[in-house]
Structure 1
Amino acid sequence: MSATTLKAHQKELWGHPIGLYVLFLTEMWERFSYYGMRALLVIYMIAQAGHKDGAGLGWTEVEALKLYGWYVMLVYVVSIPGGILADKVLGQRKAVMIGAFILVLGHGTLAIEAPWAFLTGLGLIILGVGMLKPNISTMVGGLYQKGDIRRDKGFSIFYIGINLGSLLATTFIGLIVAKWGWHAGFGTAGVAMLFGLMVYIWGQKYIEHVGNKPTEQEKKDDVSLVAIFSNIFKSPIHLAIFLVMLVLSLYAGFTFEGVDHWGYGALFIFLSFVVGLMMMIYQSLETRIEKDRILVVLLSFLIVIVFWGAFEQAGGLMSIYTEQKTDRMLLGYLIPTPMFQGLNAGFIILFAVALANFWAKRKLKGKEASALFKMAIGTVIMGIGFIFMVFAAREYGIKGHSGMHWLVLAYLFHTIGELSSSPVSLSFVTKLAPVKYASLMMGLYFAATGLGGKV
């Protein structure tokens, strides 16, 4: 077939489907909006009336970190219903469109200087990310045929888009806030998301073959999740496990300290139902291979929780440490705190393709490491990065401030760890998850990410 007769979705650019670059740009602008807002969130919440960038909410650090933890968790936990809705009703392509639109509204709401706008905007962003994030990643996997060696590299390219958006956001958002104030920064995130939505609408012809809603035959053949979950009442062992988790969740709601104790109770109840559902999905799979694969994916989520539990400190404790305890003067210029979060994204852009090529060459030589091994190594490397923060804390204790080089080294090791773990785990889930549960499993992956952030 000649190049002139290829359909739009069959065309390639630089060895990959053009649809990859449509999703790349959509995700880049979505991540610009997300990381741009995240870079401001905690600092805005604790900023007092005399802050150099203007008054924020004036909360305590404990209050700010608590809300940040809930936000990071919910923004990904909502990926579970977002994935289910895409799998069962909308299809991934339409779900991404709806999510992008909600995100434009959410970031736009944060730009409004009114008491009701802050929590309303965060709520809309949680809903929007829950619809967009798991489904756009599933679509990337759908661009490649089973066994295509380009899949992992495609995810690495997609991952560069994520981090290019983060780098651009953390580079410019801080400067915008310094000149025009907090809400101008939030508004810039909304404009970026609008760009992402426009790119996605324009590129529909290149992705028309992936992420479509289920056909009538697929719906007929499909088993509802409610029906699958109801099978738990036919299995005494699984029912007992579920009931024990449910009772402990209710106990947590009554006994945990703090104003958000019922939030924890509701979270644990939700997770109890998720665990019950996953036990029944596992039981419903027909072949031993499918069961082994989904079990490995679920076990990998434990590594994901540990990794992102440490990594998400960048937007919380490390952000506060940078703002309050780091000497940020360089050549007479005070570097805005959000720019330091851009170090991670900048390092990823520098090293992502090189590391992907390293693993690809080892695969061609028959020396490929398993995905779980790469994820575990990434977690260890990321943990080493915190050793440099120990040295930073010691220097602060002696001098009253610490040097920027400790943050640079910490973010460098966090980045190498992330590159060894995150793109691999994204590809890993799309490879092993049963097709009819693809978006649900991707939603669980991002929920594990969010739980790590809360931890």
Structure 2
Amino acid sequence: MNLFISRNINRLVQLGPLNFQIPTPMFQSINPIIILLATPVISMLWMRLARKKMHLSSILKFGIGFLLITSGFTLITLGAKFATISGKASMFWIITGMMLMGIAEIFIEPGALAFVSRVAPRSSLSVMIGFYYLFTGAIANYIAAQIAKLTTLNISIKASLIEYAHGYESTYLKISILALILLFVIILFRIIFRKLSLK
């Protein structure tokens, strides 16, 4: 993601006579900032729904989270698509995409932790939560490595900005499709779960 931002995102900000370029690492702060800002808002929404006796199931929260992830990667894919025209794309695509993925984390993470808390024995709850973070961190690093490998396969060493953009577009499109498939799996699982619970 950092290489895509550095190579194919127009990071120049023009404010009248003041022109400056946003450093690439600063884009990594979008996710934690959005989590900090959006968590209280979403928590208040859940509390309001709870007062109205409307509870979102963990599966539904997972579904909303993956819908946001799919939307986020789709926007980033569109940004890469536009970058194939001139070599550069607007910051709008990457910022909006990362914002959606940050909000998605708020929906997915609490549900996952709640599930671990329900199934883990009380005597080893803290250990199981530690294993959860270790396991998800390892998976995240592995996926990041595979994405980096996939991107390098699509791009030659002496590529132009437009060729880089084509490579990133191909990679992010595949991720978007995978996220969409996972979303459909979650929807199917929820339908099956509801049918079983009604029996």
Tell me if both proteins adopt one fold, taking TM over 0.5 as the criterion: yes
Change (3 A) 1:424 1:360: farther
Q: Pick one of 312, 315, 330 that aligns with 2:13.
A: 330
Provide Cα deviations, 1:23-71, integer angstroms capped at 9, x if missing partner.
Answer: xxxxxxxxxxxxxxxxxxxxxxxxxxxxxxxxxxxxxxxxxxxxxxxxx
Write the distance in 1 (CA, Å) between the matches of 2:43 and 2:113.
13
Write the distance in 1 (CA, Å) between the matches of 2:4 and 2:68.
21
Which secondary structure does the structure 2 equivalent of 1:367 belong to? coil
Q: Pick one of 432, 435, 455 that aligns with 2:122.
A: 435
2:40 maps to a residue whose letter is V
Instruction: Count matched residues.
Output: 138
Instruction: Report matched runs for 1:8-23 at 5 Å.
Output: none
How far apart are 1:432 and its partner, in Å? 4.1
1:373 maps to a residue whose letter is L
Q: Pick one of 137, 140, 143 that aligns with 1:452.
A: 140
Provide Cα deviations, 1:178-197, integer angstroms capped at 9, x if missing partner.
Answer: xxxxxxxxxxxxxxxxxxxx
How far apart are 1:365 and its partner, in Å? 1.9
Provide Cα deviations, 1:316-348, integer angstroms capped at 9, x if missing partner.
Answer: xx1111112111111211111111111112222
Provide Cα deviations, 1:219-253, integer angstroms capped at 9, x if missing partner.
Answer: xxxxxxxxxxxxxxxxxxxxxxxxxxxxxxxxxxx
Q: What percentage of residue pairs aligned between the two structures are identical?
A: 27
Write the distance in 1 (CA, Å) between the matches of 2:139 and 2:31.
21
2:153 is aligned to: none
1:319 is aligned to: 2
1:336 maps to a residue whose letter is P
2:50 is aligned to: 363
Write the distance in 2 (CA, Å) between the matches of 1:372 and 1:453.
24
Write the distance in 1 (CA, Å) between the matches of 2:31 and 2:90.
18
Which secondary structure does the structure 2 equivalent of 1:347 belong to? helix
How far apart are 1:404 and its partner, in Å? 0.6
Change (3 A) 1:379 1:449: farther
1:378 maps to a residue whose letter is G
Change (3 A) 1:382 1:442: same
Structure 1 residue 408 corresponds to structure 2 residue 91: no
How far apart are 1:384 and its partner, in Å? 1.1
Which secondary structure does the structure 2 equivalent of 1:366 belong to? coil
How far apart are 1:371 and its partner, in Å? 1.8
1:29 is aligned to: none
1:384 maps to a residue whose letter is S
Provide Cα deviations, 1:339-378, integer angstroms capped at 9, x if missing partner.
Answer: 1111112222221111011112212222101123212321
Instruction: Report matched runs for 1:278-357 at 5 Å.
Output: 318-331=1-14, 332-357=19-44
Which secondary structure does the structure 2 equivalent of 1:368 belong to? coil
TM-score by length of 1: 0.29
TM-score by length of 2: 0.63
Provide Cα deviations, 1:379-431, integer angstroms capped at 9, x if missing partner.
Answer: 22112101111111111110111111111110121122111111332344234
Provide Cα deviations, 1:106-161, integer angstroms capped at 9, x if missing partner.
Answer: xxxxxxxxxxxxxxxxxxxxxxxxxxxxxxxxxxxxxxxxxxxxxxxxxxxxxxxx
2:76 is aligned to: 389
With CA pairs under 8 Å and 6+ residues apart, which has the higher RCO, 1 or 2?
A: 2
Aligned Cα root-mean-square deviation (Å): 1.7
2:23 maps to a residue whose letter is P
1:327 maps to a residue whose letter is N
Rg larger for: 1
Which secondary structure does the structure 2 equivalent of 1:330 belong to? strand
Change (3 A) 1:406 1:376: same
